Amino acid sequence: MALIAYDHADAAAFEATRHLGDDALGTWREAITRYVTPRPGMRLLDLGCGTGSWSRAFRAWWPGTDVLAVEPSAAMRERSVVPGVLAGDAAGIPADDASIDAVWLSTVVHHIPDLPAAARELRRVLKPGAPVLIRSAFPGRHDGITLCRFWPETRAALDDNYPAVAAVEAAFAGAGFATAGLDRVAQVSAPSLAEAAAGLRREAHTLLQLISDDAYASGVDRLQAAVPAAEGPVLDVLDLLVLR
């Protein structure tokens, strides 16, 4: 099961605060198209699509692309910003064999309890040579993540609960995948630190739910204290791991 329940409170917080703006989406579009060449009729699987912001972006960027949105949480599906989200997860994908041209997993790999089984299922639905694109934070690679700056306890939570790059690579290697790329991608997560603080919802972030209440409260204090002197947008750096 996932690290957090993704109940209605989580889904509401996710929808309210985790949909990225155009600037952030633009940097990810550029990163994705280094590995995927969009074309009419291409079938892209958004696995663990949450409330659908990435599926919406893919459909807007690449008209004619068939975006298959799949999400295990009923609460997330109910709040989706795109129609037609299907129930399913990495162990049971509602797609035919060799029917998918690319798979997108955004901040979801740490919720998959059996990575080798997921890799085998992805191998089943993917066409030969098609990529799996994993957007995530990984252990030991959290220096560019804002949450880890203000809530240092999240670093240990990440290291203890998220799979490392090498662990993901090993799990997928068993299903015949090899690493095609590991890119660091910077995104504008909020126009300013003040706006990030004002819109903060603990329920929207797995890492904040994994730390204690006292640690969370101390981090909120640090964040609020930093707001008056902060300038410019909030930047976060996540990884894009690509496997074929």
pLDDT tens per residue, range 167-213: 999 999 999 999 999 999 999 999 999 999 999 999 999 999 999 99
| Rounded to 5°, angle at Cα 204 from 140 and 10 | 130
| pTM given for the model | 0.95
Condensed to tens digits (0 to 9), the pLDDT of residues 26-43 reads 999 999 999 999 999 999
Triad 110, 115, 120: Cα angle to 5° = 140
To the question of domain 8-139+163-188+236-243 being in CATH 3.40.50.150, the answer is: yes
